[in-house]
């Protein structure tokens, strides 16, 4: 009888322990779920950051490709310009009057044989001079027009009197005939 009571008590204690243990398991499980959820969120954020990095890396690559293309284009245009000058023009200038020569120009006797860059420089200057001439021409034409516009009509008294006399004759034709 006493033993049975002891067993009962032990069982009760065990049942209590079991209950506490299962409560702790529940709490741990909740915590674990929370951690799992948090981990999922972090993974998601990491993926987003990775994608953003990829896009940025792509942008950077495209930008540097564009810069490279631009460099090539500038180089190509410059090279073409120089090649054009080489093919088309040869400018020889007397040393006495030359102002566009540089260290790359060749010397030949009393002359400079202009290098491509010097030819480009002199061509630019000629172009500018032609523009200036063109503007000067336009300005002179404009000035002339203004002068013509502002010219006062010259009053010729002799002609005026002649006209007046003719008018007088017309108006007083009877008088004229009477006087005759």
Residues that bind Zn ion in the complex, under the rule CB under 5 A: 102, 104-105, 115, 118
Exposed/middle/buried for residue 111 (C-beta within 10 Å: 0-12, 13-18, 19+): middle
Q: How far is the CB of 136 from Zn ion (least distance, A)?
A: 30
Contact 168, 175 (CB under 8 A): no
Q: What DSSP state is assigned to residue 100?
A: S
Would you call 163 helix, strand, or coil by DSSP? helix
87 versus 99: smaller Cβ distance to Zn ion: 99
33 versus 124: smaller Cβ distance to Zn ion: 124
85 versus 118: smaller Cβ distance to Zn ion: 118
Q: How far is the CB of 126 from Zn ion (least distance, A)?
A: 16
Burial string for 45-72 (b: 16+ CB within 10 Å, else e) reads eeeeeeeeeeeeeeeeeeeeeeeeeeee
Q: How far is the CB of 147 from Zn ion (least distance, A)?
A: 46
Q: How far is the CB of 116 from Zn ion (least distance, A)?
A: 8
40 versus 106: smaller Cβ distance to Zn ion: 106
């Amino acid at each position: 009888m006493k033993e049975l009571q002891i067993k009962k008590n032990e069982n009760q204690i065990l049942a209590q322990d079991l209950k506490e243990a299962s409560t702790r398991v529940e709490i741990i499980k909740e915590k674990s779920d929370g951690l799992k959820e948090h981990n999922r969120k972090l993974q998601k954020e990491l993926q987003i950051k990775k994608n953003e990095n990829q896009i940025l890396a792509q942008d950077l690559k495209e930008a540097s490709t564009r810069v490279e293309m631009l460099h090539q284009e500038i180089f190509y245009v410059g090279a073409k310009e120089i090649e054009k000058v080489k093919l088309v023009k040869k400018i020889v200038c007397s040393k006495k009057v030359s102002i566009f020569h540089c260290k790359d120009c060749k010397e030949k006797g009393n002359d400079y044989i202009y290098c491509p860059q010097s030819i480009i420089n002199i061509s630019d200057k000629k172009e500018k001079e032609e523009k200036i001439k063109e503007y000067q021409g336009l300005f002179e034409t404009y000035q002339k027009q203004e002068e013509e516009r502002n010219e006062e009509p010259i009053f010729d008294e002799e002609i005026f009197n002649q006209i007046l006399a003719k008018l007088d004759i017309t108006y007083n034709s009877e008088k004229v005939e009477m006087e005759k």
